[in-house]
Amino acid sequence: MVAAPDEIDLETIAWRLGRLRIEEGGLEFAEGRIVVPSTKGGTIRVKAGLSVGRRRFTIAHELGHFVLHPRQGLERSDTTGNFTIWKNATEESEANIFAAELLMPPFLFTPRCLGPTPSLALLDSLARDFGTSLLATAFQYVTLTNEQVALVVSHGKTVKWFHRSKDFWPWIRMGEVHQHSAAGERLAGIAGDTARMVCTPAYAWLADFEADQEHDVMEDSRYLDWYDRTLTLLWLKDDLEE
Q: How many residues bind Zn ion (CB under 5 A)?
A: 4
Q: How far is the CB of 95 from Zn ion (least distance, A)?
A: 5
Q: From CA 117, how far away is CA 68, in angstroms rounded?
A: 35
Please choose, out of 80-88, 115-123, 157-165, 181-189, the segment that lies near Zn ion by the rule CB under 5 A: 80-88
Interface residue with Zn ion among 55, 56, 57, 78 (CB under 5 A) is 78
Question: How distant is the alpha carbon of residue 225 from its chain centre?
Answer: 14
Collect all residues with Cβ–Cβ distance below 8 Å to 9 and sequence separation of at least 6: none
Give residue number: closest CB to Zn ion. Answer: 78
Range in contact with Zn ion (rule: CB under 5 A) among 73-81, 165-173, 195-203, 214-222: 73-81
Is residue 59 close enough to count as binding Zn ion by CB under 5 A?
no
Cα–Cα distances (Å) from 138 to 23, 146, 152, 190, 191, in that order, read 27, 14, 10, 26, 23
User: Does 219 participate in binding Zn ion (rule CB under 5 A)?
Assistant: no
Taking CB under 5 A as the criterion, the residue among 8, 14, 50, 95 binding Zn ion is 95
Q: Residue 42 contacts by C-beta under 8 Å, 6 or more apart in sequence?
A: 18, 19, 20, 21, 34, 35, 36, 66, 74
Q: State the residues that interact with Zn ion by CB under 5 A.
A: 78, 82, 92, 95
